[in-house]
Structure 1
Amino acid sequence: MADNQKELELQIQELQQQLEQMKANRGPSVYDSYQTTLTSRYCSPEMSKLFSQRSRHSTWRKLWLILAESEKELGIDTITSEALEQMRSHLEVTDEDFEVARVEEKRRRHDVMAHVHAFGEVAPAAAGIIHYGATSCYVTDNTELILMKDAMDLLLRKLAKVIWNISKFATQWKDLPTLAYTHLQPAQLITVGKRAAEWAHNLQMDLERIEYERNALKFRGAQGTTGTHASFLEIFGGDGAKCDELNKLLCKKTGFPSCYDISTQTYTRKVDLVISNAVSGIASSAQKIAQDIRHLANWKEIEEPFEKDQIGSSAMAYKRNPMRSERICSLSRELMSKPVNFANTFADQWMERTLDDSAIRRMDIPEMFLLADAILMGLDNVSSGLVVYPKRIDARVQEELPFMITESIIMKLVAKGVSRQEAHEEIRVLSHQAGSAVKDEGKPNDLVARIKATEFFKPIWEELDTMLESGLYTGRSVEIVERFCGEGGVLDQRLKDYKGFLEKATTAELNV
């Protein structure tokens, strides 16, 4: 036992020496330890900063301050004005504060108490009242709720920007006919803009879901160790009304509408699950969009931005790999896995709380938002600079168009008194013959020539050439795009709250 104590003291001395080294700017290089690629490579500085240690632990201090302020307002005279002023003067955790907390945590094996002591060192008049009546989850859980609220605000603006980009793209290309696909086989024509409008529609649903969860988010507040208010009842001499007033003050000071009606030691981990379901919706929409773009790039119809000096392949110099869309898919796959973790964590909370929620949430909550942020940065970059090749698109349409007009040919023949079944059989035979020529012999699609050479179709021969105008077969695509993406349309109305941001927003620059 004595040996263990001696070893602990040596470790603490080592940490204190490291503190002195840090003060002298002789700390270890960041290149000597693992750094998450989310913050070093993919996500934005603002999202990275939001979930930084300084942001998190400075929020702890703000929560301790508003708790003390509120308790004083409700009659706790032992909390002095000097104590509050010292707390206000040291709300941002400094590098030195972190090192003090690190030494304390090594000694006490408790991160919250380590930071209580570190705060008390710089605010000595408040050292005795910091965390008064609170359990650790007062700072940890309420901080998570604050950070998630702020993170959703960041995501909503970036999501609105992507929707806006795609809406403008859809409007620009609303009348360019293109092949539609069902089962990844050519189907009836749509327009380039109509497909993009569907992308925007999916993202609109994500926007609305995240807005709902952000606005529904509540505060844990000061609920006591198991959510019974017991410690605060003692502080306020059994006055339950003051416990309620305390939580109203805390909500007012943090910008939350109210506290959750029921709390255990924590706010229910169901909250994390419903938020993750909403945020991960971005990933499923993004992966669908990025995969569509990857297919279109393979067909040489639409490509993501490709810079002048960008290299597609170290070996194959001609390649223009869709690396940005591939990155979006990769990050999306990881984000879509997060709700499973949150569901398992919620389900595994025995009784009023078990600590096996702690380590995984320290990773999953920040990563969920960092991933969503990185995905939206990628989508913003791609959707701002999509390159369309109209002639290539039309060439591919013309390869398939003869097959696609067969239904119209049948309808015209029936209108002239021909049996629908006979017309269907005749066109079926010729279609398969033309398809065989394309697939087995590598020849162009000659279905129209075959129809012109077959006496059965003589009633519509004169109409065939005009029937090959691709714009005749896109249905109401243009109208649909205008109604949804055009000026005064659905998205224009939906994004009104983001107009100020969108007018100033610039395209996200990717780190790599």
Structure 2
Amino acid sequence: MELTQLTALSPIDGRYRKKVEHLDEYFAEYALIKYRVLVEVEYFFFLADQKFFKLPLKARHSLRSMLENFSIDDANQIKLLESVTNHDVKAVEYFLKEQVEKAGVGQLKEWIHFGLTSQDINNTAIPLSWKHAMEHEYLPSLINLQNMIYSLATQWKDIPLLARTHGQAASPTKLGKEFMVFVERIHNQIELFSSIPYAAKFGGATGNFNAHHIAFPKKNWVLLGNKFVEDILGLQRMQFTTQIEHYDSLAAHFDALKRINNILIDLCRDIWTYISMDYFKQQTKKGEVGSSAMPHKVNPIDFENAEGNLGIANSLLEHLSGKLPISRLQRDLTDSTVLRNMGVPMGHISIAIQSLEKGLSKLILNEQAIKADLENNWPVVAEAIQTILRRENYPNPYEALKDLTRGKQKIDKIAIHQFINSLKISPALKKELKAITPSNYTGVNPAY
């Protein structure tokens, strides 16, 4: 069968294709080829700029135009060359030599891929495409999600909410503050993620500029390699490498993504639970159904979809971060096929973030249920009462409240106030204690 949304093996290329097609520019085979071409051309220009040869301006413009207009047809031409060479990077080299011929400077074609091994191209092209994907797609989408959560936190900042620790009623909080927990966690992880460098390898067959140095021993190839990778490509060149990059920084990116995904899974599960407690209703759409058998169902499918996709992404990221930094001696080939799967977890993450945004946009606050839950849990003010009694040096206040509230069937406002009336304290202190309710015993947090 031909590849369609119905025949694709992976749902990110089938069912969810429209949600992830924007990632083609960074992770598809076409993208890898395009970024390889970019690095090769920029290196060719760099050598010309360093006076290794003279490149006429017209030829430079011709090659720059080819690069800027690189198309699927160009990539297909390279794939045809690869069918002969059985080597993907060599096919790029041969393609570019043809382009140099077309630009009228065929005598310069051997400066294409000069002194390089394929990993000098792969270990710059891949981190560059990764960098662009993070900066142009992933981080903006994550920040948009964070802003959406912050907007809800601001909207609900004054809504008192019964907290639950160990699944049991606990000291009340504010709904907005609970959303701010996730805003802060995401912010902190973005800061950590942004501090990780985009590392690259560029140094010849085994990392020592052997071919470069033997051809031009008086040139400072370490300095030139640094200048090309850092100033031209905007990456950070590792100084001591084998044939391949260490992948330690890339692994750190994957681990950071896993942490962020875990935070989002935590958010999905919290909101799922709030929906199950009826704290939130969900907007419905005409024509949609929640169950094939139960007409009343409005399931929290967006949060479930997000959680599932984040879990798949984490499984893949775990393998990527664990495998890539390990390579036998100066290089084995296991990294090559693994690196081709970098876009798969990013596809699942993209689907998850879109599902989360959709789910959050459908939430309808059910204040009545939230207030009822608070009113049904008066024992949570016991902490407040015993703390004030401690302040007043009242004997054994914790124990007194424990005997009143722990494990009892029904402790309501009347029972609490009867207990307060039984205390041998001043009328003013009794009034202070009676003013405490589950709805106003919510503490304090920084302004936001």
Query: TM-score with structure 1 length normalisation?
Result: 0.76
**Offset at residue 385 of structure 1 (A):** 4.5
> For the residues of structure 1 that align with 2:35 and 2:390, how far apart are their CA atoms?
74
Is the Cα contact below 8 Å between 2:149 and 2:180 reproduced in 1?
A: yes
Which residue, out of 174, 196, 204, partners 2:179?
Answer: 196
Once the two structures are superposed, the pairs formed by residues 396-411 of structure 1 within 5 Å of their partners are: 396-400=373-377, 402-410=378-386
User: Contact conserved, 1:178 with 1:190, CA < 8 A, in 2?
Assistant: yes
> Which residue of 16, 29, 49 maps to 1:53?
29
1:144 Cα deviation after fit: 0.9
Corresponding position of 2:124: 142
* Structure 1 position 105 matched with structure 2 position 87: no
* 8 Å contact from structure 2 (residues 317, 345) kept in 1: no
Q: Deviations over 1:381-432 (max 9, x none)?
A: 33444321111101111111x21122344456678886426x834x545435
Report the CA distance between 1:105 and its aligned residue. 2.5
Structure 1: gaps spanning 5 or more residues: 1-26, 436-444, 487-512
How many Å apart are 1:468 and its aligned residue? 5.6
Separation in structure 2 between the aligned mates of residue 44 and residue 282 of structure 1, nearest angstrom: 19
Residue aligning to 2:422: 457
Which of 116, 120, 133 is the aligned partner of 1:151?
133
What is the letter of the counterpart of residue 420 of structure 1? N
Separation (CA, whole Å) in 1 of partners of 2:355 and 2:242: 39
Q: Secondary structure at the match of 1:470?
A: coil
How far apart, in 2, do the equivalents of 1:80 and 1:230 lie?
29
8 Å CA contact 1:279–1:372 kept in 2: the answer is no
Aligned sequence identity (%):
19
Which one has more relative contact order, counting CA pairs under 8 Å at least 6 apart?
Answer: 1
Asked whether 1:395 is paired with 2:372, we answer yes
CA contact (8 A) 1:101 1:118 kept: yes
What residue is the counterpart of 2:440 in the other structure? 472
Residues 1:272 and 2:246 aligned together: no
Question: Could you tell me how far apart the structure 2 residues matched to 1:456 and 1:74 are?
Answer: 89
Determine the structure 2 residue equivalent to 1:162. 145
Cα 1:44–1:316 change in 2 (3 A) is same
Q: How does 1:119-130 map to 2 (within 5 A)?
A: 119-124=96-101, 125=106, 127-130=109-112
- Cα 1:295/1:186, change in 2 over 3 Å: same
User: Are 1:335 and 1:372, in contact at CA under 8 Å, matched by a contact in 2?
Assistant: yes
More helix by share: 1
Structure 2 equivalent of residue 357 of structure 1: 335
CA distance in 2, matches of 1:261, 1:455: 72
Quote the Cα distance in structure 2 between the aligned partners of 1:144 and 1:85: 25
2:44 to 62, 68, 78: 68
How far apart are the structure 2 equivalents of 1:381 and 1:399?
32
Q: Please state how far the C-alpha of 1:317 moved relative to its aligned partner.
A: 1.5
Instruction: List per-residue Cα deviations over 1:215-234 (Å, max 9, x = no partner).
Output: x224323x111110111113
1:219 aligns with 2:219: no
Q: 2:410 matched to 1:431?
A: no
- Say which SS state the counterpart of residue 66 (structure 2) adopts: coil
Name whichever of 167-176 and 193-202 sits farther off: 167-176
1:317 corresponds in structure 2 to 295
Secondary structure at the residue paired with 2:207? coil
SS at match of 1:117: helix
2 CA distance for matches of 1:433 and 1:59? 65
Residue 228 of structure 2: which of 225, 246, 249 is its match? 249
Determine if contact 2:206/2:243 at 8 Å carries over to the other structure: yes
Instruction: Give the C-alpha shift of residue 30 in structure 1.
Output: 3.0
CA 1:310–1:205 in 2, change beyond 3 Å: closer, same or farther?
farther
User: In angstroms, what is the RMSD of aligned CA positions?
Assistant: 3.1
Supply the distance in 1 between the matched residues of 2:88 and 2:357 (Cα, whole angstroms): 38
Q: Per-residue deviation at 1:190?
A: 0.3
Match of 2:349 in 1: 372
Counterparts of 1:55 and 1:434, CA distance in 2: 65
Aligned residue pairs total 436
Cα distance in structure 2, aligned partners of 1:135 and 1:465? 77
Secondary structure class of the residue paired with 1:180 = strand
User: What residue ranges of structure 2 are gaps of 5+ in the alignment?
Assistant: none
Question: 2:316 touches 2:345 (CA, 8 Å); kept in 1?
Answer: yes
**What is aligned with 1:439?**
none
Q: Give the letter aligned to residue 322 of structure 1.
A: P
TM superposition shift of 1:130:
2.5
Q: Which letter maps to 2:38?
A: K
Q: Which has the larger displacement, 445-454 or 99-108?
A: 445-454
Q: Deviations over 1:322-349 (max 9, x none)?
A: 1111111111112222343134324531
Q: Within 1, Cα distance between the matches of 2:43 and 2:389?
A: 81
Measured in 1, the distance between the counterparts of 2:393 and 2:80 equals: 93
Would you say the 8 A contact 1:301–1:390 is kept in 2?
yes
Q: TM-score, normalised by structure 2?
A: 0.86
Q: How far has the Cα of 1:85 moved from its partner? A: 4.6
Match of 2:71 in 1: 94
1:208 aligns with 2:191: yes
